[in-house]
């Protein structure tokens, strides 16, 4: 696979070496902004390390697909009418359906992606759901669970590229033309409200 570079080889070493994992990586790299792709790779590496630290058994291939696709609803390809978490969850399940995964196994990935922005709920579901959200939170510095040098190594391999602002902008941008993607009481809704409050509803610069 000529397109798999050194950093990816490192990741593939901790992955089941399957066509599904490699295809997921190439697919998500193709459709996502680099900052969001890098965040997704770090999320998997961190989630996997957190699971390993607790000794909890986990379906690593499902965890990889969940982490890789977790923000794929922000891509132009998946910019449908639903909130981005659900669009991303649906995209992952379509991907897995074509690869013959059972509905039950694919559902853990759906739930992990759909709930990754649901505080206090994702933490109470199965391991794929819980560790996907934990990986996201470690990467955003909200949870301090892993050695600092380990976290920094993921950022050295997969640069942050201002992910916080890039992700916020992507989610808010989608909601400007389709407010139904950011309902009251959702994470996209909270981002949209914060954005509109700051800009006094004039719709300019969603990156602020």
Instruction: Please report, as ranges, the residues that interact with a second copy according to CB under 8 A.
Output: 82-83, 85-86, 114-115, 117-121, 124, 183-187, 189-191, 193
**For a second copy, the closer CB: 53 or 194:** 194
The first and second tokens of residue 155, run together, are: 């950022």
Query: Least Å distance between CB 114 and a second copy?
Result: 5
Query: Least Å distance between CB 99 and a second copy?
Result: 21
**For a second copy, the closer CB: 68 or 115:** 115
**For a second copy, the closer CB: 22 or 125:** 125
User: For the chain, what is the largest distance between any 2 Cα atoms, rounded to a whole number of angstroms?
Assistant: 50
Classify burial at 199, counting beta carbons within 10 Å of its beta carbon; exposed 0-12, middle 13-18, buried 19 or more.
middle
Q: Give dist(CA 159, CA 59) in Å, integer.
A: 26
Query: Least Å distance between CB 185 and a second copy?
Result: 3
Q: Phi and psi dihedrals of 105, rounded to 5?
A: -70, -40
The sign of the torsion formed by the CA atoms of 34, 162, 151, 66 equals: negative
Q: Give dist(CA 42, CA 68) in Å, integer.
A: 9
CA-closest candidate to residue 67, choices 35, 28, 30, 95: 28
**For a second copy, the closer CB: 153 or 190:** 190
Query: Least Å distance between CB 190 and a second copy?
Result: 5
Q: Give dist(CA 83, CA 192) in Å, integer.
A: 12
Query: Least Å distance between CB 133 and a second copy?
Result: 12
**For a second copy, the closer CB: 50 or 171:** 171
**For a second copy, the closer CB: 18 or 186:** 186
Query: Least Å distance between CB 200 and a second copy?
Result: 14
CA-closest candidate to residue 72, choices 95, 47, 106: 95
Helices and strands (DSSP H and E) totals, the chain? 10, 0
């Amino acid at each position: 696979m000529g397109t798999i570079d050194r950093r990816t080889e490192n990741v593939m070493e901790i992955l089941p070496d399957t066509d599904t994992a490699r295809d997921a990586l190439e697919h998500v790299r193709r459709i996502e902004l680099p900052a969001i792709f890098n965040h997704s790779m770090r999320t998997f590496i961190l989630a996997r390390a957190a699971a390993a630290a607790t000794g909890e058994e986990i379906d690593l291939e499902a965890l990889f697909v969940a982490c890789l696709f977790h923000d794929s609803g922000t891509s132009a390809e998946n910019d449908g009418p639903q909130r981005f978490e659900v669009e991303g969850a649906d995209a992952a399940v379509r991907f897995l359906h074509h690869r013959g995964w059972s509905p039950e196994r694919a559902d853990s990935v759906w739930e992990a992606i759909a709930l990754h922005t649901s505080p206090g709920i994702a933490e109470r579901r199965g391991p794929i759901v819980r560790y996907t959200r934990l990986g996201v939170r470690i990467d955003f510095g909200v949870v301090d669970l892993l050695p600092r040098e380990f976290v920094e190594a993921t950022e050295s391999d997969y640069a942050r590229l201002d992910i916080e602002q890039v992700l916020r902008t992507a989610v808010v941008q989608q909601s400007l033309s389709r407010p139904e993607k950011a309902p009251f009481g959702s994470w996209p809704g909270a981002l949209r409200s914060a954005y509109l409050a700051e800009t006094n509803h004039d719709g300019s610069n969603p990156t602020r």
